[in-house]
Amino acid sequence: MKGSKRAVDLKLCALGLPAALMFFALYIVPFGMTGWYSLLNNSFAREFAGLSNYIRVLGNTNFRLAVKNTLTILLMTVGGAALLAGVLAFLLLRVRRTIPALFILVLPLFTPSVSITTLWQAVFHTSAFTSPGSAYGALVSLYLWKYSGTAAVLLYVGLRGVERDILSAAALDGAGALRTYLCISLPCAQAHAGLMLLVLLMYAFQLYKESYLLFGAYPCRNMYMIQHYISNHFNKLNFQNVAASAVSLTALSLLLYALVYPLWRRREGGKR
């Protein structure tokens, strides 16, 4: 048995090796080169500059504004989508024919951003001169429409795994549907709630594409994110600033993932 299990493990490793090599070549190596360029004075002389590029970028007023706006937009989009997903998952538990409902909720995820932003531009009249309220409304509503359904499906899968005996006991004790959902079902689905937040964060960091399509390369002050700063300095061929800000953006994303990850990991560890 041990020999056969070892053979299966070796086959699985052999099958996964090409994907691991491609990931290393297409992601790890370029990111390593970016990190190295961020420590150089320029890309031609290649003189070691230490952390001077990071000090210059972090001291830049536009970059600090971009960090503030990025965190604000992340809080609004991820928080709003999580709340909406919780409501949708609660309603899904009471729908008899769930397959059509699940299909409708996931469908916006596969809608091309170019086509849907055209509709949003017509509704909100977005441009570089859009007022802050309209800009937030356009970007946040687009994010909620596109990703809240997928988040609700992820949460719904976890809620379906809650033991029926626990729910029946709560009903016998007189707990209503909403109280049972908030106090019993959601805590029991903690792992899937953590996974949902991780997925929403991943999509939120990709929101620059929709923001660029809505407001252009130079949006209003409240919509100026870290990706705008990177794109603008790339057009100016300021590659050291681009590298330092890209590494800073990666560090910020990893920090946020690290804050959410234990929510999922704690429940997974409890199961084992």
- pTM, entire model: 0.82
What is residue 271's predicted lDDT score, i.e. its pLDDT? 47
What is residue 5's predicted lDDT score, i.e. its pLDDT? 60
Q: How far apart are CA 156 and CA 211, in angstroms?
A: 29
What is residue 173's predicted lDDT score, i.e. its pLDDT? 67
Local confidence pLDDT in tens for the 272 residues of the chain? 555 666 656 666 776 777 778 877 877 888 788 888 788 887 676 778 788 888 888 888 989 999 999 999 999 999 999 999 999 998 888 877 778 888 888 999 888 888 888 889 888 888 888 888 888 999 999 999 999 999 999 999 888 887 777 777 777 766 777 778 878 888 888 888 888 998 999 999 888 888 888 888 888 888 899 888 888 888 888 888 888 888 888 888 888 888 887 766 655 444 44
